[in-house]
Structure 1
Amino acid sequence: MLIRPSIFTDELDRGYFGRLMRMNGVANTADMEWLIEAWAGMSNEPPSKHLNLQHLSSIANVGSCEFIGSHTTIPFYEGISSLRGWELSQRHAFSAIGYTAFSHLDWGFACKQPFLCKSCVESDMHLYGQSYWRRSHQVPGLLWCPEHKSSLSWPDDIHWFNRSPAEAIDVATSYDSETVRDALSNSHIVRYVELAFKLLERKSPFDAESVSNTLRAEATKQRFFMWGGRFSINHMLHDAEWRFGRKWLDRVMPLYTNRKKRIDFWCSRYVGTFSVEQRQASFLMECLVASTLLYESVEEALTQLGRYNPSPAREERQTPFLLNKDELLQTYILTRGNYRRIEENYRGRSTRSRIWSGLCELGLPHLVEGRGKSSLRALMAFYLEGLSVADSAEVGGMDQEEMESLLRQCSFLLRNVLKEIDGNRDNAQAEH
């Protein structure tokens, strides 16, 4: 006989499974799975048919759609998905009206560490005489209890889900109060948390391709460098570390533990590159962090992510605009080598990647002036005045390593190009 307790509001599926174990006097998960299989009349079925969310929802006397939508973290972790309907995964399926689950329960959706709020545990013990693991405490990057605004705590092992949170209080580690205060005062972290909870409440996922296209377009509009293909936050990491702080970002986008290599990412908003250790994160986490950076409010982010923005079908794509090298060369001269002004000249006719690639093929580097640096003055000193690399770097406010890197990007065309730029400047001064 199986004791079937009612499920609490916001109780996590994995925590409910552990509570079933305790109430039925079962010591390990394998025995509990066998007991559930026997209760469901599936003890003679092949293993692929064993324990699933539908069984747990039946035990809790809750519909499958409601169970997955209210008691699992699936709506969050699969909130941006490239698959639809029955093909979404082997664990569950989304639809416009809700969720249905017929196959394996994958505990991988549970956090690697079970989080709890001590105030919630005390309240549960007072109201119910027992405590339970809450789903709303398991969102990655959440440091505080949404209800009490107090620090979350966690024991060191995921197997604590099999035991009561009340038992874990004495051995749990807590975030220090200063860290939690800093997070609560950080508008970007708060906005990320709000966006994460909105995902938990959704009844269907955002389309991954559409979200990727939307974020890439918005990031490009805000002067972040973006490659084609699927959206990646790599070239926004400098802003992410600045806005969120390194310690918080390490929790949702940890560094690769098995790699020591540092990666240089080109940053359009700043001069040069930004060096960071390579980070690992799911596409979902990249999208959530990026959305918080790109949009001013949760409502704006949800509106933009919800607009269907598919990639054009291959047969519908227009023939790409072919850059005329002579025209590109003249534009480079007129804009004094400023890539961004060149982009404006070709707006609507070509893409950033094609323009930058064309300029790189011609050996014409991005000439930057500002913040005490001028790659244009440095190159003129080297090519037109015959100064040494070190002296030219000093003229341009650069160090020698930066100057050498700049020279490696230059072709034989640049000397004549610089002469024309210098001539245009002299003519403009003469006219005034």
Structure 2
Amino acid sequence: MQTALTQAVIDRAKLAKRPYEIRDSRLNGFLVRVQPSGVKSFYCEYDRGKRWRLGRADSMAVGQARNQAKRIISQYHSGIDPMDEKKSNARAITLGEFIDLFFQPWAQSHQKAHEQNIKRIRTVFKDFLKSKMDDINVIDLERWRASRIAVGNKTTTTNRDIASIKAVFNRAVDFEIIEQNPIAKVKKAREDTRPRVRYLNDEELKLLLESLDRREERRCGERDSANRWRSERGYRRLPDFKKCAFTDHLKPMIILSLHTGMRRGEVFDLKWQHVDFTVRSIAVVGETAKSGKTRHIPMNRTCLEVLGRWQKQCAKSSGRVFQNADGMRFNNVKKSWTAILEQAGIVNFRWHDMRHHFASRLAMAGVDLNAIRELLGHSDYEMTLRYAHLAPEHKRKAVELLD
């Protein structure tokens, strides 16, 4: 059959007892082959009896596959047979070249955090970027792991990096750039799957909130001083902070994180349309959630009050709840966050630890671990079990069943 290949067409393609093909009406030679097993693969048939497997349809977008097919057909018409080049290219392509030409375009359409992921891979595996993919082996990765551990990197970090680079090589196998993954046998090192979580004790929480209040007072004083200076010189005065609920985004952003357990990126992406003041609920939509699934977080009184005051202060009650001076999405708030911690005298506490603080406080208050899992949006219950030691009441009730 022949039709304009779209993702919808591929998704609707039914399974049959025998393989069959759907050819693209927009590009002659571009097709998808559907196997009885359910595997759907893109091919480029650039001449009679000559075809090139582009990759699986569940690992690359239709537009990306069509562009690769155009490139292959163009090369063939200019006198270059891709089949003749295939073996030499597989031996010659470097890790850096594969990332540039193949992995990065794929990641842009399949990974939410593709920019950070690729940047991380380039940084931690910079010594391998100029190496040919077939020349990188298990011993190279084990030596790399040993060197990272020697300079103080955590086992959890090296395991995560190894998983990332193995995924790159697996993608090269899918694209038929290399025949097999040469580092497939590299295994994760043993690690503590339930590490100690960092949360604020009562005194630290008090210090953090006091530091935020002092920052608000200081910024109000600085604005008053600036406006006196501007008035004396006939300049237009800046908005009076004393008439605002908050001097900027930082305090409401931190309060929201402490009382909802939202990830930093979820806070940055939150829009007013997902904040329901009537039912007192925040929707973290699937397109911005790490799990890809929408979840709803109830707002307590503190969160409701802070967001309500912040909304009245904002120039617009639509779009993102928090946006920078240019009206764009925040990338980070590291500088102001670090300053707040220093003034409060709080050490070893990251922005993400506010998520741990939220969950830890709930566990210590006796909230069921499954309810905590749903609030945090964990797809794996194992992730939530790290807070189990903070809920001793559950264990006590369990052993009391034996009395």
What TM-score does the superposition give when structure 1 sets the normalisation length? 0.24
Give the number of the structure whose alpha-carbon radius of gyration is greater: 1
